[in-house]
């Protein structure tokens, strides 16, 4: 069942240097209980896309067009048109976020237990103190050892991994239907990364959530995703079920990303970075935005005409396939 339908989402940033076309014409669906991973280099539009879902775009950014249809209890709402007050009720409770840097999500002046209790109180009403037990249980759920005493700790007394788990506890405190996690494991070491991913899987099964997970790490994609969206230069260039993407990548950029990491499904002999640099989105390359970096460029076509995203289960935007 589709829970979210993003159509033609376009977000621009109006800077002194010019208009940054950060996300243009992005469309995708999210199904109940699935993990959708969005992958791409820095500046590909992953974060802006997911922030735009609940209109978390700050000036000079602006959602220029598109719709985000959210389905619940037999009704449909367009999150881009909903009055701010109603959207606020959905944001944080039904659609929750976990961002990259846990420190920025935690207030250094309050204990972790207080802050987790505060998110529960914000959506259920009442005094924060009465939710202390709930906060302890949530900290236990995200596998924080000795949650009773940790709940009384201040953020600076916790390791990076524990801070990120506390933020996850806040995010799941109201049993969200959609959890959006933006590079949640970047600030923690590899062992903690694995633990956090395992935790996401567990929570997804237990709470029946849908997850949108953003990363630039293809290794994490293989382990974690049901379906993958590959973004480049503010657009989706490929979309496929995970195994298919790893076994039969179509877009030259996806192939490049897979060559740049150890492909867990098809091991490579050596690792190569994708040559070239990401495009300037104030003045993006005409035609296919990847053409300046593409080893398969079709002269006279790719630099003039933009390829549409075509296909059903496995979609690709590349003139080699149309
Ligand atoms: Fe390369 Fe052309 Fe395909 Fe773009 S459309 S990825 S430039 S072959």
51 lines ligand 1 (CB under 6 A): no
Interval 135-185: pLDDT, tens: 999 999 888 999 999 999 999 999 888 998 999 999 999 889 999 999 887
Residue 105, domain member (yes or no): no
* First and final C-alpha spacing in the chain: 29
Q: Which residue has the higher pLDDT, 1 or 237?
A: 237
Ligand 1 centroid to residue 261 C-alpha, Å = 21
**Cβ of 79 below 6 Å from ligand 1:** no
Q: Which atom of ligand 1 is nearest to the CA of 294?
A: 1
What are the structure tokens assigned to 190, written together? 């590899």
3-state secondary structure of 242: helix
| Domain presence at residue 99 | no
Q: Which residue has the tokens 């590349």?
A: 318
> Does any domain span residue 125?
no
Total number of domains in the chain:
1
Please report whether residue 173 resides in a domain. Answer: no
Distance CA(131)–CA(207), nearest Å, equals 20
**Domain containing residue 288:** 2-92+217-317
Average pLDDT over residues 290-305: 96
**Cis status, amide bond into 96, omega within 30 of 0:** no
- 175 falls within a domain: no
The answer as to whether 54 is a domain residue is: yes
Of residues 124 and 86, which shows the higher confidence score? Answer: 86
Q: What percent of the chain has pLDDT over 70?
A: 96
Tell me if 297 CB under 6 Å of ligand 1.
yes
The response to whether residue 232 sits with its C-beta less than 6 Å from ligand 1 reads no
- What's the mean per-residue pLDDT of the chain? 91
Q: Which atom of ligand 1 is nearest to the CA of 307?
A: 5
Is residue 247 situated within a structural domain? yes
As a whole number of angstroms, the distance between CA 135 and CA 123 comes to 14
- Kindly provide the ipTM of the predicted complex, given to two decimals: 0.99
Check whether 266 has a pLDDT greater than 80: no
Q: What is the CATH number of the domain that holds 19?
A: 3.40.50.300
The answer, yes or no, to whether residue 267 has pLDDT greater than 80, is no
Q: How far is the CA of 308 from the centre of ligand 1 (A)?
A: 11
Yes or no: say if 163 and 106 are a contact pair by the CB < 8 Å rule: yes
For residue 149, the model assigns a pLDDT of 94
Task: Report CA-CA distances (Å) from 7 to 173, 261, 263, 292, 309.
Answer: 29, 31, 31, 28, 13
Residue 107 pLDDT: 94
Q: Rounded to 5 degrees, what are φ and ψ at 192? A: -65, -35
Residue 317 near ligand 1, beta carbon < 6 Å: no
Instruction: Establish if 118 belongs to a structural domain.
Output: no
């Amino acid at each position: 069942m589709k829970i979210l339908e993003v159509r033609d989402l376009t977000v621009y940033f109006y800077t002194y240097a010019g208009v940054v076309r950060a996300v243009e014409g992005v469309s995708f669906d999210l199904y109940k209980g699935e993990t959708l991973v969005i992958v791409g280099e820095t500046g590909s539009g992953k974060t802006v896309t997911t922030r735009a879902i609940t209109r978390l775009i700050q000036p000079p950014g602006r959602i220029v067009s598109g719709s985000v249809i959210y389905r619940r209890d037999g009704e449909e709402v367009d999150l881009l048109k909903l009055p701010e007050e109603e959207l606020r009720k959905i944001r944080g409770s039904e659609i929750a976020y976990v961002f990259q840097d846990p420190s920025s999500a935690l207030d250094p002046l309050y204990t972790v237990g207080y802050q987790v209790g505060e998110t529960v109180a914000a959506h259920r009403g009442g005094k924060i103190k009465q939710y202390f037990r709930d906060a302890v249980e949530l900290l236990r759920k995200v596998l924080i050892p000795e949650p009773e005493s940790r709940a009384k700790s201040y953020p600076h007394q916790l390791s990076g991994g524990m801070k990120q788990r506390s933020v996850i506890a806040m995010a799941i405190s109201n049993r969200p239907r959609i959890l959006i996690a933006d590079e949640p494991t970047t600030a923690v070491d590899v062992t903690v990364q694995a633990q956090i991913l395992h935790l996401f899987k567990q929570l997804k099964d237990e709470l029946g959530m849908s997850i949108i997970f953003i990363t630039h790490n293809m290794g994490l994609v293989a382990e974690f995703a049901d379906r993958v969206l590959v973004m480049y230069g503010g657009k989706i260039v490929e979309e496929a079920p995970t195994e298919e993407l790893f076994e039969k990548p179509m877009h030259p950029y996806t192939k490049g990303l897979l060559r740049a990491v150890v492909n867990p499904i098809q091991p490579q002999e050596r690792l190569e970075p994708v040559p070239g640099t990401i495009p300037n989105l104030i003045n993006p390359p005409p035609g296919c935005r990847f053409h300046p970096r593409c080893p398969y460029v079709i002269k006279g076509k790719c630099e003039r005409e933009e390829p549409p995203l075509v296909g059903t289960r496995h979609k690709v935007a590349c003139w080699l396939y149309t």
